[in-house]
């Protein structure tokens, strides 16, 4: 007998992507760009371009119907579909332009400033007619890069309702439900209590395919352990199994299973090139040695319980849409990138000789540093412990400092006293992984101030020139240089109730692919 399909689902934010987080914003542009806030906002407001989990534009889910690009890659004419706000008004090009004006006015406070050239790359943007917007850039660029990283940041907004507020006022009112009473996405806000929960109801006026759920509710748990127990007791109908509770997964019985790819990102250890105490990070041989000593297979098997993929550069492994042939070869055979003996030789050649207790020294300096680890996940702490052991085998003394995630971020400023830190990076909205903002000299997320004129050139070429070969050259050079130490990337077990369809589940998750897998 077939099981009746439900019309409602209760879950938490960031399922299949990261530990759950609180929602503290309902508005585009002025939010802090956390995965939780981004997830909630895209339920109510549809982006101009919806980037699918295959890292290509999903035109069916996008408000844009098509984009006409000039041969030199400087002019973009954006054609909108017929679309309506929940109050019946048409969604117009003026609404999209209003979002760009918000980004421009918000300036350096905008968390994605600089990504995809936004907004400084734009020379002029004008409304040609109610359904057409023309954007002209200051210089020619790679159209795929600008569409995936720049235009993907734009949301049509109800400017006729928000135009009476300054950006400072919108920032202060970003958690006010009154500002999102009119939306153009598949769901409308029903109730929001900060720190408790947020509820949505299907938008009956939605111009796209009707939402698969009538009601969607998110509880505001802030630890993956709390969410696990809520899933076990049936409070949640969908959630994920943290890696450190892998052996307890059988306690969550009678549910369907899929395996999430963990989103499109990479994990790494960022190094502080400006701190004189760890000036050895500026030596490429030291960085290469640290990378060669990382046993990625062991991390995947031990910390991730087999749920993960090797990763050796800043372009993510899954999906491998933009992975170079050289990197695909390493992913297929990770042993090629694991060689402690070669790591020791590199350190010998760089003048670091074994000293007391097996820790290498150069003159009077020990090869020693402290790495910050965010306390948001026991899995990250387990990975850090494995790294400590790997690096000790080649004569490197790494100390751990576990601290709250917000405190870690606060310390990651240029010329700070920190030495190294574990980072989880998600490509959103910079879906084309060109490295701008990450490893170029003036990149906003170049926490350690790595600087290389060749890297700057390769990143610039990947954003300006058509053709994937420029991206391949950048990622292969990043593996060679190790501006940070690249780590394997986790996958996650996601569980959901028997009466929930896979399509319904996918409306309650964000930025991940999740393939059914009954074996877990």
Cα(55)–Cα(499) distance, integer angstroms: 30
In which band, very low, low, confident or very high, does the pLDDT at 168 lie, cut at 50, 70 and 90? Answer: very high
Give pLDDT, residue 171. Answer: 97
Contacts of 334 (CB under 8 A, 6+ apart): 296, 297, 310
- The chain-wide mean pLDDT, for the chain, equals 95
Distances (CA, A) of 31 to 28, 45, 109, 189, 442: 6, 13, 10, 17, 23
Residue 395 has pLDDT above 90, yes or no: yes
Percent of the chain with pLDDT over 90: 87
Contacts of 449 (CB under 8 A, 6+ apart): 272, 273, 274, 414, 415, 441
Summarised one tens digit per residue, pLDDT across range 368-388 is: 999 999 887 889 999 999 999
Instruction: Output the six-digit token pair for 163.
Output: 């135009």
Give pLDDT, residue 269. Answer: 98
Summarised one tens digit per residue, pLDDT across range 334-353 is: 999 999 999 999 999 999 99
Instruction: Output the six-digit token pair for 42.
Output: 């895209």
- Which residue, 395, 312, 384, 388, is CA-closest to 346? 395
More confident: 66 or 375: 66
Summarised one tens digit per residue, pLDDT across range 246-305 is: 999 999 999 999 999 999 999 999 999 999 999 999 999 999 999 999 999 999 999 999
Cα(362)–Cα(280) distance, integer angstroms: 10
Q: Mean per-residue pLDDT for 122-137?
A: 98
Q: What share of the chain is helix, strand, coil (3-state, %, to 5)?
A: 35, 20, 45
Cα(243)–Cα(224) distance, integer angstroms: 10
Cα(415)–Cα(272) distance, integer angstroms: 8
In which band, very low, low, confident or very high, does the pLDDT at 520 lie, cut at 50, 70 and 90? Answer: low
What strands, in cross-sheet order, belong to the sheet with 368-374?
397-403, 368-374, 420-426, 265-271, 485-487
Paired sense of beta strands 238-241 and 492-496, if any: antiparallel
Range of lowest pLDDT (50-59, 124-133, 185-194, 393-402): 50-59
Summarised one tens digit per residue, pLDDT across range 488-509 is: 999 999 999 999 999 999 999 9
Give pLDDT, residue 112. Answer: 87
Residue 28 has pLDDT above 70, yes or no: yes
User: In what helix (H) or strand (E) does residue 228 lie, and over which residues does it extend?
Assistant: helix 224-232
User: In what helix (H) or strand (E) does residue 473 lie, and over which residues does it extend?
Assistant: helix 469-481
Terminal Cα-to-Cα distance of the chain (whole angstroms): 24
Q: Mean per-residue pLDDT for 178-184?
A: 97
Give pLDDT, residue 3. Answer: 60
49 neighbors 151 (Cβ within 8 angstroms): yes
Cα(434)–Cα(314) distance, integer angstroms: 9
In which band, very low, low, confident or very high, does the pLDDT at 1 lie, cut at 50, 70 and 90? Answer: very low
Residue 429 has pLDDT above 90, yes or no: no
The torsion defined by the Cα of 234, 237, 240 and 246, in degrees rounded to 10, comes to 30
3-state secondary structure at position 290: helix
Cα(516)–Cα(259) distance, integer angstroms: 6
Summarised one tens digit per residue, pLDDT across range 314-332 is: 999 999 999 999 999 999 9
Give pLDDT, residue 113. Answer: 85
Burial of 413 (0-12, 13-18, 19+ CB in 10 A): exposed
Give pLDDT, residue 363. Answer: 92
Cα(337)–Cα(118) distance, integer angstroms: 36
Cα(456)–Cα(433) distance, integer angstroms: 14
Give pLDDT, residue 406. Answer: 76
Q: Mean per-residue pLDDT for 19-46?
A: 94
CB atoms within 10 A of CB 172: 12
In which band, very low, low, confident or very high, does the pLDDT at 69 lie, cut at 50, 70 and 90? Answer: very high
More confident: 2 or 402: 402
Give pLDDT, residue 297. Answer: 97
Question: What is the residue-wise DSSP string for 119-171?
Answer: TTTEEEEEEEETTEEEEEESS---HHHIIIIIGGG-----HHHHTTS-HHHHH
Q: Which residues pair with 240 in a beta bridge?
A: 494
In which band, very low, low, confident or very high, does the pLDDT at 140 lie, cut at 50, 70 and 90? Answer: very high
């Amino acid at each position: 007998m077939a099981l009746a399909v439900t019309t409602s689902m209760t879950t938490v934010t960031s399922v299949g992507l990261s530990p759950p987080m609180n929602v503290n914003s309902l508005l585009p542009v002025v939010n802090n760009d956390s995965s939780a806030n981004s997830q909630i906002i895209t339920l109510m407001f549809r982006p101009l371009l919806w980037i699918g989990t295959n890292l290509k534009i999903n035109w069916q889910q996008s408000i844009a119907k098509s984009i006409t690009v000039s041969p030199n890659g400087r002019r973009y004419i954006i054609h909108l579909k017929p679309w309506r706000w929940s109050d019946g008004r048409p969604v117009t090009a003026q609404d999209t332009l209003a979002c760009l004006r918000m980004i421009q006015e918000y300036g350096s406070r905008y968390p994605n400033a600089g990504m995809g050239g936004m907004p400084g790359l734009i020379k002029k943007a004008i409304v040609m007619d109610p359904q057409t917007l023309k954007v002209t850039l200051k210089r020619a660029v790679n159209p795929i890069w600008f569409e995936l990283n720049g235009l993907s940041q734009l949301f049509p907004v109800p400017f006729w309702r928000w135009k009476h507020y300054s950006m400072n006022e919108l920032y202060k009112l970003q958690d006010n439900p009154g500002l999102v009473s009119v939306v153009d996405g598949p769901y409308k806000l029903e109730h929001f209590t900060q720190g408790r929960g947020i509820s949505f109801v299907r938008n009956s006026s939605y111009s796209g395919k009707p939402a698969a759920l009538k009601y969607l509710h998110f509880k505001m748990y802030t630890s993956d352990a709390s969410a696990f127990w809520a899933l076990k007791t049936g409070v949640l109908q969908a959630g994920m199994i943290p890696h450190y509770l892998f052996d307890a997964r059988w306690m969550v019985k009678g549910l369907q299973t899929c395996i999430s790819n963990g989103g499109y990102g990479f994990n790494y250890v960022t190094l502080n090139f400006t701190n004189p105490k760890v000036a050895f990070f500026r030596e490429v041989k030291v960085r290469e040695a640290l990378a060669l000593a990382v046993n990625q297979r062991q991390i995947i098997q031990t910390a991730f319980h087999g749920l993960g993929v090797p990763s050796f550069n800043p372009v993510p492994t899954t999906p491998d849409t933009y992975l170079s042939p050289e990197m695909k070869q390493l992913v297929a055979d990770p042993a090629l990138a694991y060689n402690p003996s070669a790591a020791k030789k590199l350190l010998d050649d760089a003048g670091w000789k074994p000293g007391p207790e097996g820790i290498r020294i150069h003159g009077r300096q020990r090869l020693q540093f402290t790495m910050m680890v965010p306390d948001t996940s026991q899995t990250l702490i387990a990975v850090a412990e494995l790294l400590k052991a790997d690096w000790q085998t080649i004569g490197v003394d790494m100390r751990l400092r576990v601290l709250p995630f917000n405190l870690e971020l606060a310390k990651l400023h240029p010329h700070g006293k920190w030495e190294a830190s574990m980072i989880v990076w998600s490509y959103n909205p910079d879906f084309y992984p060109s490295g701008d903002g990450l490893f170029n000299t003036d990149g906003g997320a170049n926490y350690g101030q790595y600087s290389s004129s060749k890297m700057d050139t390769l990143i610039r070429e990947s954003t300006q020139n058509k053709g994937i070969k420029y991206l391949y050259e950048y990622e292969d050079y990043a593996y060679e240089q190790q501006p940070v130490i690249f780590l394997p990337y986790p996958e996650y077990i996601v569980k959901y109730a028997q009466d929930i369809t896979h399509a319904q589940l996918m409306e309650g998750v964000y930025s991940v692919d999740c393939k059914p897998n009954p074996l877990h």
